[in-house]
Structure 1
């Protein structure tokens, strides 16, 4: 159940926060991603409070979240979590599937891949594990497709995504080389 405070902008859930399906790196070194989170739904009011409380334990109180706008069913700007307000921003410029949590401590942030709720359990678990692996170089928006592609690589699929295709959508560009020699 979702409730809105008197100011009309602060939203809180009348139910206890759920325990998040979350996997975080254990190291303190900066990485591309700090881990992965697999919410049970696309409802931020139901899902985000439990995540915030889990991250609080590691980073201190989370003050702000940055999310991609199309990943969520609604867009509350402030959530009440454990007696405090957490500001939430939804942006189309934020990469799809990336959640950035900012702590009140200077420079403290957590970047998580958000696994879509309807993802197959084996794929979701593997994607969260990859996101929490030190040295991971796969960006948030490509993790699920990379994992799904590697899980099906043992079989033959016509719709399988080649690694260079994933790289193309990650911002890289492949040079096209003409390998046909013309006799003149």
Structure 2
């Protein structure tokens, strides 16, 4: 008997909402490339808008890495327009960080601001993450703005 392993089907994305995203104006030797504030922990609802915004800025995204425990569901492929993006779920990745990789192998590291964060604190956190002078990591930024 031959068993053929089929790849998991790609989840079609709903109509994406505009991402609440602040990106650094330049790429340099920063810890983070910006901050993202999703509206929920539902990756099917939140990732399409982020992918469109990142694609506009950095070109096509081929892979996204997320924390396995922070999100409400997990799947391995997401279709946004004509693109299929692979998703990786890791328990070793901090919930405050998302890593996207472009087709040119450029890594984009984003602070993930929890959805329930008050607006003023979320905006400060995203601005800090996008600041080229920032040397703090995601969890430290969130701890500072949520005091």
TM-score (norm 2): 0.91
Question: If the length of structure 1 is used for normalisation, what is the TM-score?
Answer: 0.73
Taking only aligned residues, the RMSD between alpha carbons, in angstroms, comes to: 1.5
Aligned-partner Cα distance in 2 for 1:76–1:56:
20
Moved over 6 A (4+): none
User: 1:88-139, CA deviations, whole angstroms, 9 ceiling, x for partnerless residues?
Assistant: 0010111221000000103x11100000000011110100011011121211
Report what 1:37 is aligned to. 36
Q: Which residue of 2 aligns with 1:72?
A: 71
Residue number in structure 1 paired with 2:27: 28
In 1, Cα distance between the equivalents of 2:8 and 2:98?
A: 25
Q: Which runs of 5 or more residues in structure 1 are unaligned?
A: 1-6, 150-184
Partner of 1:156: none
Higher Rg: 1
What residue in structure 2 maps to residue 112 of structure 1?
Answer: 110
Name the CA distance, whole Å, in 1 between partners of 2:95 and 2:46: 17
Deviation by residue 1:128-184 (Cα, 9 ceiling, x = unmatched):
0110111212111221111122xxxxxxxxxxxxxxxxxxxxxxxxxxxxxxxxxxx
Alignment partners' CA distance in 2, 1:144 and 1:116: 9
Query: In the alignment, is residue 136 of structure 1 matched against residue 134 of structure 2?
Result: yes
Higher RCO by CA contacts (8 Å cutoff, separation 6 or greater): 2
Question: CA separation in 2, counterparts of 1:8 and 1:88?
Answer: 11
| Equivalence for 1:182 | none
Partner residue, 2:122: 124
Q: Is the 8 A contact 2:11 2:79 kept in 1?
A: yes
Q: Which residue of 1 aligns with 2:3?
A: none
Residue 92 of structure 1: aligned partner? 91
Q: CA deviation at 1:8?
A: 5.1
Superposed displacement of residue 67, structure 1: 0.7
Q: State the number of aligned residues.
A: 142
